[in-house]
């Protein structure tokens, strides 16, 4: 039986980098990945908190 995909949230503190782009791209092949770019201010802090706890793993760059 196929296992549940891991949900991974990437938070970009200072925009994307070469390394963060590469890690995110590779992980997106097997996991469900969401990216929040703090510089863009596109999400409310309330939503960000919900996303942090909704995902299995959070990586801040």
Partner 1 sequence: MTKKVAVLVRDRQHEALRMAVGLTLADNSVSVFVMDTRLASDKNIEMSVETLGDMNAKIYSNNPENKFTQMATEEIAQALTEYDIVIPY
Partner 2 sequence: MKLGILINTDRHLSDIIGITKAALSKGHEVIIFNMDEGTRLLGNSSFRELCSMYGIRMSFCDYNAKGLGVSKEGIPDEIVCGSQLNNAEMIHEADRVIVL
Residue 60 binds partner 2, judged by CB under 8 A: yes
> 14: left (phi > 0), else alpha (psi -120 to 50), else beta?
alpha
String marking each residue 1-40 x if it binds partner 2 according to CB under 8 A: ----------x-xx-----------------------x--
- Residue 7 touches which of partner 2, partner 1, none (CB < 5 to 8 A by kind)? none
Distances (CA, A) of 1 to 4, 17, 31, 56: 9, 36, 16, 20
- Judged by the rule CB under 8 A, the positions of this chain that interact with partner 1 are 6, 8, 19-20, 22-23, 26-27, 30-31, 57-61
């Amino acid at each position: 039986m196929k296992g549940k995909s891991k949900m991974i949230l990437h938070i970009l503190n200072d925009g994307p980098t070469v390394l963060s782009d590469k890690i995110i791209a590779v992980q997106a092949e097997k996991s469900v990945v969401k990216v929040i770019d703090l510089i863009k201010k596109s999400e409310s802090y309330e939503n960000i908190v919900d996303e942090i706890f909704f995902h299995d793993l959070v990586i801040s760059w």
